[in-house]
Amino acid sequence: MFSSLSEKLQDVFKKLRGKGKLTEKDIKEAMKEVKLALLEADVNYKVVKDFINTVTQKAVGEEVLESLTPAQQVIKIVYDEMVNLLGGSDTKLTFSPSGFSIYMMVGLQGSGKTTTAGKLAGLLKKQGKNPLLVACDIYRPAAIKQLEVVAQKAGVKCFANYNSKDAVKIAKEGIEFAKASRCDVTIVDTAGRLHINQELMDELVAIKNAIKPTEILLVLDAMTGQDAVNVAAAFNEQLGIDGIIMTKLDGDTRGGAALSVKAITGKPIKFAGIGEKMEDLEVFHPDRMASRILG
Ligand code: GDP
């Protein structure tokens, strides 16, 4: 993932390191190359502009240019800003202080929502929680079956009601079932659509109001690039989200979505999907991701 961006940035840094002393012109030239690399990685244009301005401002300071290791310092500034871009330190999943947490999974069809609901349940189970999955994607019977299958793989219970076409009612029943079964985490899988539409949003808002989730997690497909960022902005505006799970980061994504979405929506990536298997979900660490990109 991000291999092309990573290679390009490493080339820029290599050139800087080779120079010894740096002038303002050297830094500006390097930043031009960083800008190009980010744009080629499909990072949002405004995000790139702000990023380059901030880094340049910090890097052309006298302290950096006069220091014994100016290249190192510039690279450190880029690293710090990239960590900020990827979400800073504000990326942890929040648990309810009541001891009973509810996560509502939302996203477009095909983003990986159902798979990710199962993966998240498995991950939380490994952390000692007792999660329940609730199937509210009622329009495709196959989706309910799919959730039951991933629940089984994750070794957690799944609540479904094949007889109802009322997602709000099923969500509420699921929460009651979780409480009765002494589960401490409920993960509600909701219906997706191919595109955002009002009907979908109305249903999600109704579920949100009925179950008051601890967090709403938006599942986004990293491979869809800036479309994913637009989807995130729309969901955040119309529903309000708390965090993002970026899937398919194992593919040959250029990285633009992951690098733009926090700056555009203000909401952090909390988990990363890195494969189709149940264990392929990682807690998202902006610092580790920035290190991976910058090499
Ligand atoms: P939904 O329609 O949003 O519920 O999406 P699904 O959960 O059915 O996933 C759609 C496809 O994406 C499936 O083939 C999943 O195996 C695949 N998928 C989900 N997450 C990842 C991921 O992180 N990496 C890869 N490579 N594939 C994923």
Residue 65 assigned ligand-binding role = no
Average pLDDT (207-212) is 98
Average pLDDT (206-214) is 98
Question: Ligand 1 mean position to 276 CA, how many Å?
Answer: 6
Please give the structure tokens belonging to residue 264: 């555009």
Q: Provide the Cα torsion 194, 198, 200, 206; round to 10°.
A: 170
What is the structure's pLDDT at 114?
A: 96
* Closest C-alpha residue for ligand 1 atom 12: 112
What is the structure's pLDDT at 74?
A: 94
User: Could you read off the pLDDT of 109-166 as tens digits, one per residue?
Assistant: 999 999 999 999 999 999 999 999 999 998 887 999 999 999 999 999 999 999 999 9
pLDDT of 90 above 80: no
pLDDT band at 253 (very low <50, low <70, confident <90, very high): confident
User: Could you read off the pLDDT of 6-38 as tens digits, one per residue?
Assistant: 999 999 999 999 988 899 999 999 999 999 999
Q: Which atom of ligand 1 is nearest to the CA of 247?
A: 23
Q: Which atom of ligand 1 is nearest to the CA of 110?
A: 2
248 lines ligand 1 (CB under 6 A): yes
How far, in Å, CA of 270 to CA of 248, rounded? Answer: 14
* Closest C-alpha residue for ligand 1 atom 28: 276
How buried is residue 148: exposed, middle or buried, by Cβ count under 10 Å (0-12/13-18/19+)? middle
Distances (CA, A) of 239 to 82, 212, 288, 292: 28, 12, 30, 33
What is the structure's pLDDT at 20?
A: 82
Residue 120 assigned ligand-binding role = no
118 lines ligand 1 (CB under 6 A): no
pLDDT of 251 above 90: no
* Residue 259 region by backbone torsions, left for phi larger than 0, else alpha for psi between -120 and 50, else beta: alpha
What is the structure's pLDDT at 190?
A: 97
274 lines ligand 1 (CB under 6 A): yes
pLDDT band at 214 (very low <50, low <70, confident <90, very high): very high
3-class DSSP assignment, residue 192? coil
Question: Ligand 1 mean position to 44 CA, how many Å?
Answer: 24
Question: Ligand 1 mean position to 202 CA, how many Å?
Answer: 25
Question: Ligand 1 mean position to 92 CA, how many Å?
Answer: 23
pLDDT band at 62 (very low <50, low <70, confident <90, very high): confident
Question: Ligand 1 mean position to 114 CA, how many Å?
Answer: 8
115 lines ligand 1 (CB under 6 A): yes
What is the structure's pLDDT at 168?
A: 97
Question: Ligand 1 mean position to 111 CA, how many Å?
Answer: 6
Partner residues linked to 272 by β-bridges = 246, 282
Residue 214 assigned ligand-binding role = no
Give the number of other Cβ atoms within 10 Å of residue 252's Cβ.
11
148 lines ligand 1 (CB under 6 A): no
User: Could you read off the pLDDT of 157-204 as tens digits, one per residue?
Assistant: 999 999 999 999 999 999 999 999 999 999 999 998 888 889 999 999
Q: What is the pTM of this model?
A: 0.95
What is the structure's pLDDT at 63?
A: 84
